[in-house]
Chains A and B, each alone.
Chain A
Amino acid sequence: DTEVTQTPKHLVMGMTNKKSLKCEQHMGHRAMYWYKQKAKKPPELMFVYSYEKLSINESVPSRFSPECPNSSLLNLHLHALQPEDSALYLCASSLPSFYNEQFFGPGTRLTVL
């Protein structure tokens, strides 16, 4: 298995809703990442998990809450989002070695109403 999967593909939520994004990989990668991508812009790093521990938080607002329950799974819990949080949310994973290129999932298109 050489892919990163993300669910759901699309999500529409209100500003008072609570929802979660899910990411899964079975490549034995021990680093996992969340990115946010606005239209016509490059991806921006949000969080990095290494060996299931949060190692980087790029000053992301607390309404985004990441979780890494095991080495294959990464979640992003969403609560009280704003319309400007609408974007494509990408998950990536990499090996814990020097040759640790990041492989991306297809993304979740999030719309906040």
Chain B
Amino acid sequence: GQQLNQSPQSMFIQEGEDVSMNCTSSSIFNTWLWYKQDPGEGPVLLIALYKAGELTSNGRLTAQFGITRKDSFLNISASIPSDVGIYFCAGQSHTGTASKLTFGTGTRLQVTL
């Protein structure tokens, strides 16, 4: 199936550094979501964005819904070891009473002390 372009593919950073990742699509989405997945676990929802241009924060996380509705970025400030994991963006299309997610290829984040 279709996947969104997510970059970078992986990042190796030091504790305390800021992190930025982004996601681009050839299609327009109604909603952008960002998830984090730890090994062997299900994705956990971090942030949901509903309007083009919207900027939303959740603690040290900040995400934006691109003006064109075809892209989004996620920033993590002052990274800590527990930020390690795989981050997925997902564009959401509404299909009546359900929704369909198209996932990005993922960004693997590793944090060193």
**B interface secondary structure, majority:** strand
Q: Which of B35, B44, B97, B104 contacts A96 (CB 8 A)?
A: B97
Report the minimal beta-carbon distance from B55 to chain A, rounded to whole angstroms: 18
Contact indicator per residue, chain B 77-113, by CB within 8 Å of chain A (1) or not (0)? 0000000000010001011111111011110000000
Contact check, B42 vs A45: say whether CB atoms are below 8 A apart: no
Which of A42, A49, A102 is within 8 Å of B3, CB to CB? A42
- Residues of A whose CB lies within 8 Å of any CB of B are 4, 6, 30-31, 33, 40-45, 48-51, 55-56, 58, 88, 90, 92, 94, 96-107, 109
Residues of chain B lying within 8 A (CB to CB) of residue A50:
96-98
From the candidates B41, B43, B94, name the one contacting A100 in the complex (CB within 8 A). Answer: B94
Which residues of chain B are near A98, meaning CB under 8 Å? Answer: 30, 50, 94
Choose one: B40, B88, B98; the contact of A56 (CB below 8 Å): B98
